[in-house]
Structure 1
Amino acid sequence: MSNSFVRTAILAPEPPPLGEKGAVAWLRRNLLATPKDIVLTTLALVFLAWALFHAIDWLFVQAVWSGPDRTFCATTVQGGIQPDGWSGACWAFINAKFDQIIYGGYPPDERWRPTLVGILFVLLLVPMLIPSAPRKGLNAILLFGALPIISIVLLYGGFGLEIVETPRWGGLMVTLVLSFVGIAVSFPLGIVLALGRRSHMPVIRTICVIFIEVVRGVPLITVLFMASVMLPLFLPAGWTVDKLLRAIVGVSIFASAYMAEVIRGGLQAIPKGQFEGADSLGLGYWQKMRLIILPQAIKLVIPGIVNTCIGMFKDTSLVSIISMYDLLGIVRFLFTDPNWASAVTPLTGLIFAGFAFWLFCFGMSRYSAFIERHLDTGYKR
C-alpha cells in the first residue's frame, strides 16, 4: 500500500478570511449586522457629518479672530460690520481678555510673579511625574515643601514685593492654586482618615466615620458657603480669615472625605495574607502600612484617586458663589463688558472655558492610564 498521500510536513496556518477580522469585519459585526443597524448607523453618520460641518464652520471658518471690540462680531443692525447676521465664534473676545482670563485682576506690571510660579511648578512637577526621573525624594521636598512657601511670597508679596491681596487674584491662576493645594492636602489626609476608619480603637474610628459621613452628606457649595459666610460669625470681633484660604480649606476637607473612601476601598481589596505576612516579619503598624499595604492599595485604586482629583478640579468653579473669580467665574464676569456685548460672546467664552477644563482633566486621565500600565505587574512573569 502506497504512503504517497501522507504529508511529511505540517502546513503553515493560513490567515483568517478577510471578512472575519480587521476594520471591515468590525464594521459588519457592530454597525451593519442587521437592516435596523444599517439604518441607525446611516442616520447617525448623517447627523454627525451635519453637526461636525456646522461646528467647524461656526468655530473656525466664520469666526472672528481679531478686533478691538464687539463691532467685529455683531450685525450692522447692532452697530457691527457683519452684513448677513452674527459672525461665528468671537475669538477676538478671548484674545482681548486673555490676560484677565489667566490672571484675573492681578496687576499687569506684577504678572511676572504668577508666571514665574507657574514655570517653577512645571519644572518640579514634570520630573515628579516621570517614573524614571532620579531623586524623587528631593523633588517631592521642593515641590510640596519649598514651592508653596516661594509661591506665597511671590503671589501675595512682601520682602520688597508689592502686596497683592487675594481678592484681586482670579482666572486660571486661582483654579490651579485651589486644585493643586486641594489635591496635595486631601491625599495624605484621606489616607489618615481611611486608616482611622479601619482602626480598632473605637474613639478614632468613630471620629473618622462621623467626619467622612458628615462631609460626604452635604454638597460642596454648602461647605464653601459655611467657610466663607458662617465661619466669620464664630470668630472673635476683629478677627478674619482670608477668603482664598477659607476656600482652600473647604475644598480640601470636602475632597479628603471622598479620597478616604477611595483609599479604604483599596485597603479592603488587599488579601488578608498580606497583613499576616507583614505581621510575621515583625513589622510595626506604621511599617506594615508604609512598606506593604498602602503601596498595593494605592496602586489598586489609581482610577478612583484620579477620578476624585478630576472632580475636585472641576468643582473649583463653585467658588464663584463666594465672590471668587476662578477660570469659569472670570469668563462669566467678562461677559458684562459692554464693549463685547454680543450674542456670540457668551457661547464663545463658555466653549473656551470648557475646553480649558477638558484639557487639564484629559491630561490627568491619560497620565492615570500611563501609571496603571507602568504599575501593572501583578500578572507579569
Structure 2
Amino acid sequence: MDVSAPPAGKPSGYVSSAMLQQQPPPVSTTGPIAWARAHLVGSVGQVLLTLFGLWVAYVVIPPVVRFFFIDAVFTGTNRDACLPEKVGRDVGACWPFIWAKWNQIIYGFYPEPERWRVNLVYALGVVLLVPLMIQKVPGKRLNALAFFGIYPVVAFVLLTGGDLGLRGFLLSRLGLGGVFTNIGQAIGLRSGFWPDYVVSALLISAIVAAVAPVFAGNRRTAGKGMLVVFAVLGVVLAAVDIPFGLTSVRTDLWGGMLVTLVIAVTGITASLPLGILLALGRRSQMPLVSIASTAFIEFWRGVPLITVLFFATYMLPLFLPGGVSIDKLLLALVGVALFASAYMAEVVRGGLQAIPKGQYEGAAALGLPGGLMMRLVVMPQALKLVIPGIVNNFIGLFKDTTLVLIVAIFDLLGALRAAFADASWATPTTVVTGFGFAGLFYFVFCFGMSRYSMALERRLDRNHRH
C-alpha cells in the first residue's frame, strides 16, 4: 500500500516534525539546595554528621576569632600593652610581640647590614617560581633552568658570601695540596694571576656555552657540555679562591623563616629526582643496582628523621679525621634530602606499577629504546597518577623541618622560642600568640601546595575531557 508523506510541519501520528526547545532542569536537582540535600541531609548519618560539624564549629571558631582578632592587641611597645591589669579588660593575642620580633623571626641572627641579601634571595625565588607554576607563561624551559640550575648557586653565594672554602679543605685537610697546586700553576689559575672579573667572565661564558644548546633543541649535546662545565668548575674552585666581595656569614647565624625555607626547598627539590632514580633502580633488572636501591630505601624508611638528624650532626663528626669539620646545617640538609628521597622513591614506584603493560608494549612497538620509553611514555603517566602522594610527601617534609630544633638549628619555631625568653614581652598570651602565628605560617604554605596539586591534577586529567 502506497503511503504518502504528511505535509511539512504537520505531525504524523505521535511524532512531531518540529524539535522541542530544551527545558531547564528541575529546581530540586541544581543549586545550593540540591547540593545540601545530596551532601548534608541526604541520610540519617549525614544529618548526624552535619549537626556534629556545626556544633564543633560553634565551639571552636568563635573563641579563636575572639582571641586572635576581637580581644587582640595590635599596638604597643612592651608587655604592658598586653597585660589585662594594664589594659583593663581581657586580652587576647599580643600581636605587638610579633611585630617587635619580626626581624628575628624572618632572619634569625643574620647580621642586620647583610639582610638585603636574604631579601634578594626571597624576591628572586618568588620571581622565578610564580611564572613556573602558571601554565600560560611562556619560556618554561628557560624558567626551569634558571630556577633549578642558576638560582641555587646565586642563593648560596648571597647567603654565605660565596666563600666555598674548597681550596683550604682540599689542600690542607685532605693532603691534596700538590695535585691542585700543580693544576692551578699549569693552567695559570693561581690566586691573583688573573683579575677577578676575568675569571668571572670565563666562568659565565662557559656556563652560557653549555646551556645554549638547550634552547637550540640539541639536548644531548647540552647535557654533555654541562657535565664538562661542572667538572671544569670543580677544578677551578678547588685551585683558586674567587672573591665575590660579600661578607661571609656563618650558617649558625641563620635562623627563623630563612632556615625553614632553605631546608624545605632543598629537601623538596632534591627528593623528587633522587626518588625517581631510586625507584628506577629498585625496578632494575641488574641485581646489584636493585639490591643497592632496595637496601638504601628500606634503611632510610626504617629510621626516624630525628635519629638521622642526631647521627648527622653529633655522631658523624666523631668518625671524621682530625681537623675535618662539616657545617651542621649542611649535614642536616643532606640527611633530610636522603630521608625524603627514600619515601619519594616508594611513591614513584607505586605510580610505575600502576601503568598498564600495554603502555610498555605500545612504546616498544614504536621502536623506542628503554630510556626514551621511560622518559616519554611511562614516567610522565606514572608521575601524573601519584601527584597526591608526591605533594603529600612535600607537605610532610615541610612540617618536619621543625625537628631541626632538636639539634640546635634555629628554624621558625627555634626563633620563636628564643623570642619567648625576652622578659620585656612576658605575658600570659605571648606563647599562644607566637605558636598561633607559626601555625598560620605552616598552614598557608601547606594549604597552598595542596590546592595547587589539586589544580594540577585537574589540568592533567585528560581522560575526562570532552
Calculate the TM-score normalised by the size of structure 1: 0.91
Aligned counterpart in structure 1 of residue 420 of structure 2, from 315, 335, 338: 335
Aligned counterpart in structure 2 of residue 368 of structure 1, from 424, 436, 453: 453
SS of aligned partner of 1:378 = helix
In 2, Cα distance between the equivalents of 1:32 and 1:298? 38
In 1, Cα distance between the equivalents of 2:59 and 2:296? 51
Partner in structure 1 of residue 145 of structure 2 = 141
Aligned counterpart in structure 1 of residue 433 of structure 2, from 336, 348, 365: 348
In 1, Cα distance between the equivalents of 2:252 and 2:406? 14
Partner in structure 1 of residue 87 of structure 2 = 82
C-alpha distance 20-128 of structure 1, shift in aligned 2 (>3 A): closer
SS of aligned partner of 2:360 = helix
Aligned counterpart in structure 2 of residue 316 of structure 1, from 380, 401, 405: 401
C-alpha distance 54-219 of structure 1, shift in aligned 2 (>3 A): same
Superposed CA deviations along residues 299-329 of structure 1, whole A, max 9, x for unmatched, are 1111111111111111011000111111122
Q: How does 1:91-130 map to 2 (within 5 A)?
A: 91-130=95-134
* Larger CA deviation: 238-247 vs 366-375: 366-375
Residue 224 (str. 1) matches residue 303 (str. 2): no
Shift of 1:104: 0.6
C-alpha distance 287-59 of structure 1, shift in aligned 2 (>3 A): same
The one-letter code matched in structure 1 to 2:465 is K
Shift of 1:36: 8.7
The one-letter code matched in structure 2 to 1:188 is P
Partner in structure 1 of residue 218 of structure 2 = none
Residue 249 (str. 1) matches residue 296 (str. 2): no
C-alpha distance 281-13 of structure 1, shift in aligned 2 (>3 A): closer
C-alpha distance 106-29 of structure 1, shift in aligned 2 (>3 A): same
The one-letter code matched in structure 2 to 1:134 is P
**CA RMSD of superposed structures (Å):** 2.3
Partner in structure 2 of residue 59 of structure 1 = 68
Partner in structure 2 of residue 155 of structure 1 = 159
Partner in structure 1 of residue 323 of structure 2 = 238
* Identical pairs, percent: 53
Give the number of aligned pairs.
374
In 2, Cα distance between the equivalents of 1:279 and 1:62? 67
Shift of 1:12: 5.4
Q: How does 1:253-264 map to 2 (within 5 A)?
A: 253-264=338-349
Residue 197 (str. 1) matches residue 276 (str. 2): no
The runs of 5 or more residues in structure 2 that have no matched partner are 1-10, 163-243
In 1, Cα distance between the equivalents of 2:404 and 2:298? 22
C-alpha distance 93-18 of structure 1, shift in aligned 2 (>3 A): same
In 2, Cα distance between the equivalents of 1:74 and 1:185? 47
Structure 1 or 2, whichever has the larger Rg, is 2
Superposed CA deviations along residues 260-309 of structure 1, whole A, max 9, x for unmatched, are 01110111111111112222333222222111111111111111111111
Superposed CA deviations along residues 175-196 of structure 1, whole A, max 9, x for unmatched, are 1111111111111110100000
Residue 211 (str. 1) matches residue 296 (str. 2): yes
In 1, Cα distance between the equivalents of 2:107 and 2:294? 39
The one-letter code matched in structure 2 to 1:57 is R
Aligned counterpart in structure 2 of residue 171 of structure 1, from 256, 269, 279: 256
Shift of 1:74: 1.4
In 2, Cα distance between the equivalents of 1:139 and 1:370? 20
In 1, Cα distance between the equivalents of 2:47 and 2:270? 52
Superposed CA deviations along residues 57-110 of structure 1, whole A, max 9, x for unmatched, are 21111111121111111133xxxx13244x110011111111111111111111
Superposed CA deviations along residues 196-224 of structure 1, whole A, max 9, x for unmatched, are 00001111100111110110011111111
The one-letter code matched in structure 1 to 2:87 is Q
The one-letter code matched in structure 1 to 2:365 is S
Partner in structure 1 of residue 191 of structure 2 = none
Shift of 1:131: 2.2
* Larger CA deviation: 365-374 vs 48-57: 48-57
In 2, Cα distance between the equivalents of 1:378 and 1:4? 43
The one-letter code matched in structure 2 to 1:160 is G
In 2, Cα distance between the equivalents of 1:37 and 1:141? 50
Shift of 1:372: 1.1
In 2, Cα distance between the equivalents of 1:98 and 1:370? 33
In 2, Cα distance between the equivalents of 1:16 and 1:279? 49
Shift of 1:151: 1.0
In 2, Cα distance between the equivalents of 1:39 and 1:200? 54
The one-letter code matched in structure 1 to 2:82 is C
The runs of 5 or more residues in structure 1 that have no matched partner are none
C-alpha distance 157-13 of structure 1, shift in aligned 2 (>3 A): closer
Partner in structure 2 of residue 23 of structure 1 = 32
Partner in structure 1 of residue 206 of structure 2 = none
SS of aligned partner of 2:255 = coil
The one-letter code matched in structure 1 to 2:60 is A
The one-letter code matched in structure 1 to 2:100 is A
The one-letter code matched in structure 2 to 1:63 is A
Q: How does 1:291-310 map to 2 (within 5 A)?
A: 291-310=376-395
* Larger CA deviation: 48-57 vs 164-173: 48-57
Shift of 1:380: 3.2
In 1, Cα distance between the equivalents of 2:77 and 2:148? 42
Partner in structure 1 of residue 58 of structure 2 = 49
In 2, Cα distance between the equivalents of 1:37 and 1:126? 40
The one-letter code matched in structure 2 to 1:53 is P
Shift of 1:349: 0.5
C-alpha distance 88-279 of structure 1, shift in aligned 2 (>3 A): same
SS of aligned partner of 1:111 = helix
